[in-house]
Chain A
Amino acid sequence: MRELSLHILDVVENGITAGAGRIEIRVEESLAADRLKLTVRDDGPGMPPEKASNPEDPFITSRTTRRVGLGLSLLAAAARRCEGDLTVAAEPGRGTEVAAVFRHSHIDRAPLGDVAATLAMLIIGNPHIDFAYSHTVDGDEFSLDTRELSEGGADLSDPGTVRLVEQGIREALATMNRNSGREETSHAQADH
């Protein structure tokens, strides 16, 4: 995938398909330790033991439309390319946590990309699911919880409102990037 945010979208969609009601997405950037970690945690049914012990095997898949599932395999390959790794913790009935670590400065690391667009698509496409997003760059943090926004009266099934959310995320992340003295995601935020 061209952007890490597309991997996030993909893994989150897995959780949604599996029947999760709440999904937590964490992006942790440590420039000091030269590390980038993506974590997606859902409260779905987990994975069957066969898949959990071998998450990257594309031929073990619960899908029924064809016999190969490539989502996690692609993410694992992307992480390993960058001196990182993929870990999956899943137990039937207790949700799934997928974590991918990358060397931040690795030349093969895809840009994080348009996280704001990814979140907006998830929110508008899945109004019944709660999403929590947190993003840290060294000590700085930005977070968002759609449950809180809904409880506060935002109608997240309205495209206009979700556009405002998207804009809010984009502004906040841009500020955070500026504060850390770089413009890492900016080139990927342009429309393709």
Chain B
Amino acid sequence: MPKLTIDDLKRIKEETTKATALRHDGEVRIKITVHMGTCGIAAGAREVMKSLMAEMAEADRQDIRVVTSGCMGMCSSEPNITVEVIDSEPIVYQHMDANRTRQVFRRHVLQGEVQTDFALAKL
């Protein structure tokens, strides 16, 4: 049985309609961290990440990066994500799910409106 190869990726890409634009290596202006410790994973961090990925693919913005990190010690409020926009304080969001993540991405990340209802803290 097969190994996933570049050719497979090309084929799948051709099958899916949307072609991703060429990347330009620009400056990263916004960093989104998904906390993926045991606590975060058990609470649903993977679904949060999944929803972020879908939003990222749609937004197709080169200046946004999504990264994962470990637990930050606030396990009872997991899944947590931290949004860091250049030149402003990082915001930690708590009890995230796919929908809340979409809202934070569209409002805070894309439009700059901090979603205070979901926020746990300013760092």
Question: Which A residues fall within an 8 A CB radius of B?
Answer: 1, 6, 9-10, 13, 16-17, 63, 65-66, 69-71, 74, 114, 117-118, 120-122, 124-126, 140-145, 148-149, 152-155, 157-165, 167-169, 171-172, 175-176, 191-192
Contacts and interface: CB of A to CB of B under 8 A. Distances in A.
B6 A143 contact: no
A74 B4 contact: no
Contacts of B44: 192
Nearest to A75: B38
Interface of B: 1-6, 8-9, 12-13, 16, 18, 20, 23, 34, 36-39, 41-42, 44, 46-47, 49-50, 53-54, 56-57, 60, 65-68, 70-73, 75, 98
A159 B53 contact: yes
Contacts of A66: 71, 73, 75
Given A161-B9, A164-B16, A65 B36 contact: no
A144 B3 contact: yes
Contacts, number: 123
A70 to B, nearest CB: 5
Given A159-B57, A160-B60, A172 B71 contact: no
Given A160-B20, A162-B53, A10 B9 contact: no
A143 B3 contact: yes
A66 B78 CA distance: 15
A165 B41 CA distance: 21
A165 B8 CA distance: 9
B1 A9 contact: no
A116 B48 CA distance: 15
